[in-house]
Amino acid sequence: MPEIERDPNRALPSGPLTHWVDTNVMLEVYSHGDLYDAYEGWERGESPIANVEARRVRMQGSLWMAMALCEARAINVSFQHENLNNILRMAPPGSERGGWTAAILYVLGNGGVFDGWERFLTNDGLGLSNRNRDRHMVNECRTSGLVLVTRDDQVIGEARSDGVDVAEPEAFATRYLTRDAARRMCEERVATATFRYLTRGPVGEHELRMRIGHRIRELYGAIWQPPDQPWFRET
């Protein structure tokens, strides 16, 4: 069983770990970095708008998974160093991206959007190569009976060969609720969370928090647009 990083401000897990969510999926849930990168690539003329749309739909799938993990009362673990390094790279502190990501993290974490899903981090495998960390993750899931959620095709193949219960986010999510039910659940929770974000802030930040909250609700409304109804369209 991976050793969980001890955060003095956070309670210990309420029970044994149940899932391992790979870094590539956790980043889609939290940082929005892939979506930023794809959009800026399109703005620079380096990639088509279809790439941005694909990222949006992929992010929707990861949010669907997040709602499923809430329903499952999951207690999951992920690699701390991989998540931290990638978030710092995609949304550096002090940058516009960093400020926006910090607001989203606050709303998602403190606002209750992911209530029911316990999320923990480990530095197991810190000194290993990327490939060996993948193997370590699969081995931990096999020996501890954890469900593995990942988008890495190679990891999926290796995990299945080892008898691990492994799935991509969307396939995992269908075990618990439909995409439409997940959308309603997420949008209701985001609405509640942004209201809390507004009311719990300093009086002097009221207008700023109103704008940020409105943008966050708009963002999640766009992300949850049905996959067959593109939000990012060719002009």
List C-alpha distances in Å: 182 to 146, 170, 175, 225. Answer: 23, 11, 12, 12
Q: What CA–CA distance (Å, rounded) separates 36 from 48?
A: 14
Q: What percent of the chain has pLDDT over 90?
A: 56
What is the per-residue pLDDT across 38-93, written as a single tens digit (0 to 9) for each? 888 999 999 999 999 999 999 999 999 999 999 999 999 999 888 777 777 776 77
In a 3-state reduction of DSSP, which class is residue 166? strand
Per-residue confidence (pLDDT) for residue 35, from 0 to 100: 80
What is the per-residue pLDDT across 207-233, written as a single tens digit (0 to 9) for each? 887 888 888 888 899 999 999 999 888
pTM: 0.90
What is the per-residue pLDDT across 142-176, written as a single tens digit (0 to 9) for each? 999 999 999 999 999 999 999 999 999 999 999 99
